[in-house]
Amino acid sequence: MLDIRFKTRKLEKAFAQIAEGRKLWGDMVARRYIERVNALQTLDNAKLAAKEFPEYRPQELKGKRKGQWAMNLNDRWRLIYEPAEDGLTISIEEVTNHYGD
C-alpha cells in the first residue's frame, strides 16, 4: 500500500472531508478526487497506476511538470500527483481545471 502525502493542508482536508472538496470544486469533482486518491493508495508501487487504472487516463506530464502525472476527474478537471523515485510514496500536488476556465 502506497504512502499518500498531500502538498497542502487544503488538499488533505478535501480528501478527509468531502464537504471541503465540494466547496472547492463541486460535488462530482470532490467525489472523484477521493475515489482516485483511494485507488492510488491501494497500489504496491506508484508505477502501476497506468496499468491498474486505465479508465482514469493516467498520463505522464512533460515540460515544467516533468516527473508528475495527471489523472482525469472529469472532462475538465484533473488530479496532479508526483510519485517518489522509489515508487512507494505519492505526493498529491493539486486539482486543476485543465482548460483554465
Question: For residue range 1-35, what is the model confidence (pLDDT) as tens digits?
Answer: 899 999 999 999 999 999 999 999 999 999 999 99
What is the model's pTM?
Answer: 0.92
Which three cell numbers, joined as nine digits, stand for 7? Answer: 502538498
Integer Cα distance of 42 and 65 in angstroms: 24
> 3-state SS of the chain: helix, strand, coil percent to 5?
45, 25, 30
| CATH fold of 3-97 | YaeB-like fold (3.30.2310)
CA pair distance 90, 7, nearest whole angstrom: 10
C-alpha distance from residue 16 to each of 13, 30, 31, 35, 60 (Å): 5, 11, 11, 11, 26
Average pLDDT estimate for 57-83: 94
* Residue extents of the structural domains in the chain: 3-97
